[in-house]
Amino acid sequence: MKTLSISGLCKTFVDRQGRTVEALSGFSLDVAAGEFITIVGPSGCGKTTMLRIVQGLEERSAGTVTIDGREIRGPGPERGFVFQQYGLLPWLTAARNIAFALDARGVAQAEQAERIRVALETVGLSAFADHYPRQMSGGMQQRVGIARALAVDPDILLLDEPFGALDALTREILQNEMLALSERMQKTIMFVTHSIDEAIMLADRVVVMSARPGRIATIIDIDIPRPRAGRGEEIRESAAFTHYRRQLWDHLMAREVAA
Protein backbone atom coordinates (compact mmCIF):
# COMPACT_ATOMS: atom_id res chain seq x y z
CA MET A 1 0.00 0.00 0.00
CA LYS A 2 1.22 3.46 -0.81
CA THR A 3 0.44 6.97 0.37
CA LEU A 4 -0.26 9.66 -2.17
CA SER A 5 0.34 13.33 -1.60
CA ILE A 6 -0.88 16.04 -3.95
CA SER A 7 0.24 19.55 -3.17
CA GLY A 8 -0.64 22.90 -4.75
CA LEU A 9 -1.63 21.35 -8.06
CA CYS A 10 -2.39 23.94 -10.78
CA LYS A 11 -3.21 23.44 -14.41
CA THR A 12 -3.78 26.04 -17.10
CA PHE A 13 -4.69 24.87 -20.58
CA VAL A 14 -4.02 27.02 -23.64
CA ASP A 15 -6.36 26.23 -26.52
CA ARG A 16 -5.61 26.60 -30.24
CA GLN A 17 -6.83 30.20 -30.26
CA GLY A 18 -4.36 31.00 -27.50
CA ARG A 19 -7.08 31.40 -24.85
CA THR A 20 -6.21 30.13 -21.41
CA VAL A 21 -8.45 27.93 -19.26
CA GLU A 22 -7.52 27.62 -15.61
CA ALA A 23 -8.68 24.09 -14.79
CA LEU A 24 -7.06 23.58 -11.38
CA SER A 25 -5.80 26.05 -8.84
CA GLY A 26 -4.10 24.88 -5.67
CA PHE A 27 -5.54 21.38 -5.31
CA SER A 28 -3.91 19.69 -2.30
CA LEU A 29 -4.79 16.34 -0.76
CA ASP A 30 -3.04 13.64 1.26
CA VAL A 31 -4.40 10.15 0.70
CA ALA A 32 -3.45 7.52 3.28
CA ALA A 33 -2.30 4.05 2.26
CA GLY A 34 -5.36 1.87 1.63
CA GLU A 35 -7.78 4.78 1.77
CA PHE A 36 -10.75 5.03 -0.60
CA ILE A 37 -11.35 8.62 -1.73
CA THR A 38 -14.24 9.65 -3.97
CA ILE A 39 -14.26 13.02 -5.72
CA VAL A 40 -17.33 14.99 -6.69
CA GLY A 41 -17.78 18.52 -7.98
CA PRO A 42 -19.53 20.69 -10.55
CA SER A 43 -19.18 19.76 -14.20
CA GLY A 44 -15.89 21.01 -15.65
CA CYS A 45 -14.26 21.71 -12.27
CA GLY A 46 -11.11 19.79 -13.18
CA LYS A 47 -11.73 16.31 -11.71
CA THR A 48 -10.49 14.46 -14.80
CA THR A 49 -7.56 16.84 -15.20
CA MET A 50 -6.48 16.25 -11.59
CA LEU A 51 -6.71 12.47 -11.95
CA ARG A 52 -4.83 12.49 -15.28
CA ILE A 53 -2.02 14.53 -13.72
CA VAL A 54 -1.75 12.05 -10.84
CA GLN A 55 -1.60 9.21 -13.36
CA GLY A 56 1.07 11.08 -15.33
CA LEU A 57 -1.04 11.40 -18.48
CA GLU A 58 -1.12 15.19 -18.27
CA GLU A 59 1.56 17.76 -17.45
CA ARG A 60 0.94 19.97 -14.43
CA SER A 61 1.49 23.75 -14.53
CA ALA A 62 2.55 23.85 -10.87
CA GLY A 63 2.50 21.70 -7.75
CA THR A 64 3.79 18.29 -6.80
CA VAL A 65 2.53 14.71 -6.67
CA THR A 66 4.47 12.31 -4.46
CA ILE A 67 4.03 8.60 -3.77
CA ASP A 68 5.56 7.46 -0.50
CA GLY A 69 7.51 10.72 -0.52
CA ARG A 70 8.94 10.27 -4.02
CA GLU A 71 7.94 12.87 -6.60
CA ILE A 72 6.44 11.39 -9.77
CA ARG A 73 6.51 12.89 -13.25
CA GLY A 74 5.11 10.32 -15.66
CA PRO A 75 3.07 7.11 -15.49
CA GLY A 76 4.40 4.23 -13.40
CA PRO A 77 3.56 0.61 -12.56
CA GLU A 78 2.43 1.52 -9.04
CA ARG A 79 -0.59 3.35 -10.54
CA GLY A 80 -3.48 1.92 -12.58
CA PHE A 81 -6.14 3.96 -14.42
CA VAL A 82 -9.73 3.06 -15.32
CA PHE A 83 -11.46 5.21 -17.98
CA GLN A 84 -15.14 6.11 -18.20
CA GLN A 85 -15.50 4.78 -21.75
CA TYR A 86 -13.54 1.61 -20.91
CA GLY A 87 -10.72 2.49 -23.34
CA LEU A 88 -10.57 -1.04 -24.77
CA LEU A 89 -9.09 -1.69 -28.19
CA PRO A 90 -12.01 -3.09 -30.24
CA TRP A 91 -9.83 -5.34 -32.40
CA LEU A 92 -8.36 -7.18 -29.40
CA THR A 93 -9.96 -9.81 -27.16
CA ALA A 94 -10.35 -9.19 -23.41
CA ALA A 95 -7.14 -11.14 -22.73
CA ARG A 96 -5.21 -9.34 -25.50
CA ASN A 97 -6.40 -5.96 -24.23
CA ILE A 98 -4.88 -6.79 -20.86
CA ALA A 99 -1.72 -8.16 -22.49
CA PHE A 100 -1.39 -4.89 -24.42
CA ALA A 101 -1.27 -2.97 -21.11
CA LEU A 102 1.22 -5.45 -19.65
CA ASP A 103 3.46 -5.08 -22.72
CA ALA A 104 3.35 -1.31 -22.30
CA ARG A 105 4.50 -1.73 -18.69
CA GLY A 106 7.31 -4.08 -19.70
CA VAL A 107 5.89 -7.15 -17.94
CA ALA A 108 7.74 -10.26 -19.19
CA GLN A 109 5.80 -12.49 -21.63
CA ALA A 110 6.29 -15.52 -19.37
CA GLU A 111 4.44 -13.78 -16.55
CA GLN A 112 1.59 -12.41 -18.61
CA ALA A 113 -0.71 -15.43 -18.97
CA GLU A 114 -0.97 -15.95 -15.22
CA ARG A 115 -1.55 -12.25 -14.54
CA ILE A 116 -4.30 -12.14 -17.17
CA ARG A 117 -5.92 -15.26 -15.74
CA VAL A 118 -5.94 -13.88 -12.20
CA ALA A 119 -7.18 -10.44 -13.27
CA LEU A 120 -10.07 -11.84 -15.30
CA GLU A 121 -10.96 -14.22 -12.48
CA THR A 122 -10.99 -11.30 -10.02
CA VAL A 123 -13.66 -9.52 -12.06
CA GLY A 124 -15.62 -12.72 -12.77
CA LEU A 125 -14.80 -12.89 -16.48
CA SER A 126 -12.70 -16.06 -16.71
CA ALA A 127 -15.00 -17.44 -19.40
CA PHE A 128 -14.71 -14.32 -21.56
CA ALA A 129 -10.95 -14.10 -22.15
CA ASP A 130 -11.38 -14.67 -25.89
CA HIS A 131 -14.35 -12.36 -26.35
CA TYR A 132 -14.04 -9.06 -28.20
CA PRO A 133 -15.42 -5.86 -26.64
CA ARG A 134 -18.38 -5.80 -29.07
CA GLN A 135 -19.42 -9.24 -27.80
CA MET A 136 -19.69 -7.93 -24.22
CA SER A 137 -22.14 -5.65 -22.39
CA GLY A 138 -21.01 -2.27 -21.05
CA GLY A 139 -20.69 -3.71 -17.56
CA MET A 140 -18.52 -6.55 -18.81
CA GLN A 141 -16.35 -4.19 -20.84
CA GLN A 142 -15.75 -2.08 -17.77
CA ARG A 143 -14.88 -5.20 -15.79
CA VAL A 144 -12.20 -5.81 -18.43
CA GLY A 145 -11.10 -2.19 -17.96
CA ILE A 146 -10.75 -2.83 -14.22
CA ALA A 147 -9.00 -6.18 -14.81
CA ARG A 148 -6.54 -4.43 -17.12
CA ALA A 149 -5.70 -1.90 -14.42
CA LEU A 150 -5.41 -4.63 -11.75
CA ALA A 151 -3.19 -6.88 -13.90
CA VAL A 152 -0.35 -4.42 -13.55
CA ASP A 153 -0.77 -4.94 -9.77
CA PRO A 154 -0.80 -1.25 -8.87
CA ASP A 155 -0.85 -0.02 -5.28
CA ILE A 156 -2.86 3.00 -6.36
CA LEU A 157 -6.00 2.79 -8.47
CA LEU A 158 -7.35 5.90 -10.21
CA LEU A 159 -10.86 5.66 -11.67
CA ASP A 160 -12.46 8.40 -13.76
CA GLU A 161 -16.25 8.01 -13.55
CA PRO A 162 -15.92 4.33 -14.39
CA PHE A 163 -19.62 3.52 -14.02
CA GLY A 164 -21.00 6.71 -15.58
CA ALA A 165 -21.99 5.06 -18.86
CA LEU A 166 -23.75 2.08 -17.26
CA ASP A 167 -27.45 1.55 -16.53
CA ALA A 168 -28.56 1.95 -12.91
CA LEU A 169 -28.74 -1.75 -12.06
CA THR A 170 -25.36 -2.63 -13.60
CA ARG A 171 -23.91 0.38 -11.83
CA GLU A 172 -25.07 -0.89 -8.44
CA ILE A 173 -23.69 -4.35 -9.18
CA LEU A 174 -20.29 -2.93 -10.14
CA GLN A 175 -20.27 -0.65 -7.09
CA ASN A 176 -20.71 -3.71 -4.93
CA GLU A 177 -17.92 -5.50 -6.79
CA MET A 178 -15.72 -2.42 -6.34
CA LEU A 179 -16.41 -2.50 -2.59
CA ALA A 180 -15.59 -6.21 -2.39
CA LEU A 181 -12.42 -5.70 -4.41
CA SER A 182 -11.20 -2.74 -2.40
CA GLU A 183 -12.01 -4.38 0.92
CA ARG A 184 -10.11 -7.48 -0.11
CA MET A 185 -7.14 -5.88 -1.86
CA GLN A 186 -6.42 -2.85 0.31
CA LYS A 187 -5.44 -0.52 -2.50
CA THR A 188 -5.19 3.24 -2.29
CA ILE A 189 -8.05 4.50 -4.46
CA MET A 190 -9.16 7.80 -6.00
CA PHE A 191 -12.52 7.52 -7.72
CA VAL A 192 -14.24 10.38 -9.59
CA THR A 193 -18.03 10.23 -9.80
CA HIS A 194 -21.07 12.39 -10.53
CA SER A 195 -23.25 10.25 -8.29
CA ILE A 196 -23.72 11.37 -4.69
CA ASP A 197 -24.92 7.91 -3.62
CA GLU A 198 -21.94 6.22 -5.25
CA ALA A 199 -19.55 8.70 -3.64
CA ILE A 200 -20.92 7.92 -0.16
CA MET A 201 -21.30 4.18 -0.64
CA LEU A 202 -17.68 3.64 -1.66
CA ALA A 203 -15.66 6.21 0.24
CA ASP A 204 -13.76 6.63 3.45
CA ARG A 205 -13.73 10.33 2.55
CA VAL A 206 -15.64 12.29 -0.09
CA VAL A 207 -13.74 15.24 -1.55
CA VAL A 208 -16.00 18.03 -2.84
CA MET A 209 -14.35 20.29 -5.39
CA SER A 210 -15.19 23.93 -6.07
CA ALA A 211 -16.27 25.16 -9.50
CA ARG A 212 -13.44 25.80 -11.99
CA PRO A 213 -10.65 26.48 -11.29
CA GLY A 214 -10.90 23.36 -9.17
CA ARG A 215 -9.65 23.12 -5.63
CA ILE A 216 -11.00 21.36 -2.58
CA ALA A 217 -14.13 22.97 -1.16
CA THR A 218 -14.71 20.49 1.65
CA ILE A 219 -14.00 16.91 2.70
CA ILE A 220 -16.62 14.71 4.33
CA ASP A 221 -15.61 11.67 6.41
CA ILE A 222 -17.93 8.74 5.78
CA ASP A 223 -18.25 6.91 9.03
CA ILE A 224 -20.08 3.82 7.78
CA PRO A 225 -18.47 0.59 9.04
CA ARG A 226 -16.74 -1.84 6.68
CA PRO A 227 -17.04 -4.32 5.16
CA ARG A 228 -19.84 -2.72 3.14
CA ALA A 229 -19.85 -5.18 0.24
CA GLY A 230 -23.17 -7.04 0.08
CA ARG A 231 -24.85 -4.50 2.38
CA GLY A 232 -25.79 -1.92 -0.27
CA GLU A 233 -29.51 -1.90 0.41
CA GLU A 234 -29.14 -1.78 4.19
CA ILE A 235 -26.60 1.05 3.96
CA ARG A 236 -28.67 3.09 1.49
CA GLU A 237 -31.64 2.86 3.84
CA SER A 238 -29.70 3.86 6.95
CA ALA A 239 -30.07 7.19 8.75
CA ALA A 240 -26.33 7.82 8.37
CA PHE A 241 -26.54 7.48 4.59
CA THR A 242 -29.48 9.90 4.41
CA HIS A 243 -27.55 12.36 6.55
CA TYR A 244 -24.46 12.21 4.31
CA ARG A 245 -26.58 12.50 1.18
CA ARG A 246 -28.24 15.68 2.47
CA GLN A 247 -24.90 17.12 3.56
CA LEU A 248 -23.28 16.44 0.16
CA TRP A 249 -26.30 17.64 -1.74
CA ASP A 250 -26.21 20.96 0.14
CA HIS A 251 -22.50 21.40 -0.58
CA LEU A 252 -22.90 20.58 -4.26
CA MET A 253 -25.95 22.82 -4.71
CA ALA A 254 -24.01 25.68 -3.13
CA ARG A 255 -21.15 25.06 -5.64
CA GLU A 256 -23.47 24.83 -8.65
CA VAL A 257 -25.21 28.06 -7.67
CA ALA A 258 -21.84 29.73 -7.15
CA ALA A 259 -20.49 28.40 -10.48
* Least distance from ligand ATP to the Cβ atom of residue 37, Å: 15
- Which CB sits closer to ligand ATP, 2 or 47? 47
Note whether 15 binds ligand ATP by CB under 6 A. yes
- Which CB sits closer to ligand ATP, 15 or 233? 15
Note whether 148 binds ligand ATP by CB under 6 A. no
Spatial separation of the C-alpha atoms in residues 71 and 73, rounded to whole Å: 7
* Least distance from ligand ATP to the Cβ atom of residue 251, Å: 15
- Which CB sits closer to ligand ATP, 44 or 76? 44
- Scanning residues 194 to 253, which ones bind ligand ATP (CB under 6 A)? 212
- Directed axis angle between helix 138-151 and helix 94-104, to 10°? 30
* Least distance from ligand ATP to the Cβ atom of residue 47, Å: 4
- Which CB sits closer to ligand ATP, 15 or 237? 15
Note whether 21 binds ligand ATP by CB under 6 A. yes
- Which CB sits closer to ligand ATP, 28 or 43? 43
* Residues 38-77 as x/- pattern, contact with ligand ATP by CB under 6 A: ---x-xxxxxxx----------------------------
Choose the binding region for ligand ATP from 37-45, 115-123, 149-157, 215-223 (rule: CB under 6 A).
Answer: 37-45
Backbone angles phi, psi at 151, to 5 degrees: -60, -30
On whether the CB atoms of residues 95 and 151 are closer than 8 A, the answer is no
Binding stretches for ligand ATP (CB under 6 A): 13, 15, 21, 23, 41, 43-49, 212
